[in-house]
Structure 1
Amino acid sequence: MKEQPDILCIGSVLWDVIGRAASHMRVGSDVPGRITRLPGGVAMNIAMTLSRFGLTPALLTAIGQDPEGEELIAEANRMGMITDHVYRSEDLPTDVYMAIEGANGLIAAIADAHSLESAGAKILRSLDNGRLGSAEAPFKGPVALDGNLTEELLQQIAKSPLFARADLRVAPASPGKANRLLALLGHPSATLYVNLEEAGLLCQTTFTHSVEAVHALCTRGAHRVLVTNGGGSAAEGTAGDVIEATPPAVMVTRVTGAGDTFMAAHIASEAQGMDRTDALTRALNAAATYVSGETPL
């Protein structure tokens, strides 16, 4: 295994417990389906896709020393990720995410990321102690950052010299946590990956088109933005320079993790030298493949 990572994935690494049903569901529905338990969390989902695209990610997160944590670390190692920098707490349990999905999409979800939030800046120790970088010689390279971190920690990261040379790629954990990213709107190298709803929450309005959302976020101070809109067109750009593309139409069989797959595929495509249009198209194709139930390559 490589000792030096191609990219850092900072944020939630946990177990996803997902119940999926083939029928439409509403509040109170009780239907047959399948329940799966898989490694998940924004940082982990991104890392898994990056690994499939040939990159070696390092995880910076909090994982308990409980049996669930040991199993999760083993899975990450098996997939070729670097776990040497994970904060392993004796007192905090391994986090978990639980969701219900029907044929009409995500019905409900609960993300228990309390251990990650409690660990706080401890997960960043390797960026300060010389193992991955220091204040005098900060890490240079891409960093995938997820919005499960506390607002306080995200504010610290926005101003920290430890990230002064990093290519920050940022995603909210969910619409409910989108406003945490406001701290990073003015960061000079941050790229935000959001969906149309999250873009609206950040701008305190409602958008009908992804291009409109990119322009608005750049006006608010974002360096660079990518906005997705489900099966509608997605947009990528900076102030005054926006492109868009439409994903292929597919039968949707799952939704949890689709945005993370899109983000990881886009990062990998740019790392491998693709131009803007090809990188956006490839990322949309990877996300479409994922929601159709296949594994994106």
Structure 2
Amino acid sequence: MMQQPDILCIGSVLWDVIGRAPNPMRLGSDVPGRITRLPGGVAMNIAMTLRRFAMVPALLSNVGRDTEGDDLIGAAQRMGLICDHVYRSDDLPTDIYMAIEGANGLIAAIADAHSLEAAGDKILRPLANGALGSVTAPWAGPVALDGNLTVDLLRDIATSPLFRNADLRVAPASPGKAERLLALLGHPSATLYVNLEEAGLLCQTTFASSADAAAGLIARGARRVLVTDGGQSASEATGNDIITRVPPAVMVTRVTGAGDTFMAAHIASEAQGMARDAALDRACQAAATYVSGEIA
């Protein structure tokens, strides 16, 4: 019998190729370091963290029928992620993300999510054909949605009856794709998870703090938001009610995936019945632990 998920993770599932150097870097640096290939993508990163918090995520994405895709699906299944509903394309290759990180943070990154974009609404078929829901009986649980989807598809999701009962948790894939979330800004059940830069792009301004950014997004029409500002602060706003926490101070050894870890930990904490302040504290702790390198 097919296992029933308790949350859907919709978006990018790909290979992360990350080059990390232990020293600060600048444009043009050529330094020794380590290069790793790990399962990644926003949807995958969120799903992996949710699994660590004892939730059962299902992936909705595109993965190619190539060797890289077979390896990726195998790795996801070994982690306990449900991959039965992933769209396996015969003619689209498995996507990939490449980043360079130094001791001073992310230096540069390129996300090749063209296959996911080309697959379009094919990845949502299980929500309509009865596998996970239908128009008459839509999915009624939480959904983690990432901004690697096209603007047109995000607009469709914003008005689709397939999502009318869903608890939407939305994150941009990167600052470069933050403005795609404008389509979901006023959605009545959407919670946005963004960093300070992404909040500024959505509001076409700059903010001095996560609390200011959270207030700005609410004024822009968001129902609920969570804004992170690295190791400085994280804020959650619902209407005019804003709470802020300062993450634990840690030695930063990596940054790619930190925001996804924060989001997943917060979703899991709320799913387990934790109060607002406790859920925000736990999410900050999880992200700090992740960037410190304590989580493999």
Q: What range is the shorter-chain TM-score in?
A: over 0.9
Q: Which moved more, 1:233-242 or 1:80-89?
A: 233-242
Residue 8 of structure 2 corresponds to which residue in structure 1?
8
- Deviation at residue 3 of structure 1 after TM alignment: 1.2
- Deviation at residue 211 of structure 1 after TM alignment: 1.0
Equivalent-residue separation in structure 2 for 1:32 and 1:233 (angstroms): 32
Residue 162 of structure 1 aligns to a residue in which SS? helix
Q: Aligned runs of 1:112-191 on 2, under 5 Å?
A: 112-191=112-191
- Deviation at residue 213 of structure 1 after TM alignment: 0.9
Matched, 1:59 2:32: no
AA paired with 1:43? A
Equivalent-residue separation in structure 2 for 1:48 and 1:13 (angstroms): 11
Structure 2 unaligned spans of 5+: none
AA paired with 1:205? T
- CA distances 1:64-102 after superposition (whole Å, capped 9, x unpaired): 000000000001110111101000000000000000000
**Percent of matched pairs sharing the same residue:** 77
Residue 221 of structure 1 corresponds to which residue in structure 2?
221
Equivalent-residue separation in structure 1 for 2:186 and 2:287 (angstroms): 28
Equivalent-residue separation in structure 2 for 1:236 and 1:145 (angstroms): 18
Residue 80 of structure 1 corresponds to which residue in structure 2?
80
Residue 38 of structure 2 corresponds to which residue in structure 1?
38
Residue 198 of structure 1 corresponds to which residue in structure 2?
198
Contact 1:141 1:167 in 2 (8 A): yes
Q: Which moved more, 1:1-10 or 1:69-78?
A: 1-10
- CA distances 1:236-281 after superposition (whole Å, capped 9, x unpaired): 0111111110100000000000000000000000001100000000
Contact 1:15 1:97 in 2 (8 A): yes
Residue 124 of structure 2 aligns to a residue in which SS? helix
AA paired with 2:190? A
Structure 1 unaligned spans of 5+: none
- Deviation at residue 125 of structure 1 after TM alignment: 0.1
TM-score (normalizing by structure 1)? 0.99
Equivalent-residue separation in structure 2 for 1:113 and 1:170 (angstroms): 17
CA RMSD of aligned residues (A): 0.9
AA paired with 2:34? R
Q: Aligned runs of 1:100-115 on 2, under 5 Å?
A: 100-115=100-115
Equivalent-residue separation in structure 1 for 2:154 and 2:78 (angstroms): 30
- Deviation at residue 2 of structure 1 after TM alignment: 6.6
Q: Aligned runs of 1:18-29 on 2, under 5 Å?
A: 18-29=18-29
- CA distances 1:10-30 after superposition (whole Å, capped 9, x unpaired): 000000000000111111100
- CA distances 1:164-191 after superposition (whole Å, capped 9, x unpaired): 0000000000000000000001100000
Equivalent-residue separation in structure 1 for 2:186 and 2:262 (angstroms): 23
- Deviation at residue 220 of structure 1 after TM alignment: 1.1
Tell me the number of residue pairs that the alignment of Structure 1 and Structure 2 aligns. 296
Residue 96 of structure 2 corresponds to which residue in structure 1?
96
AA paired with 2:27? V
Contact 1:158 1:184 in 2 (8 A): yes
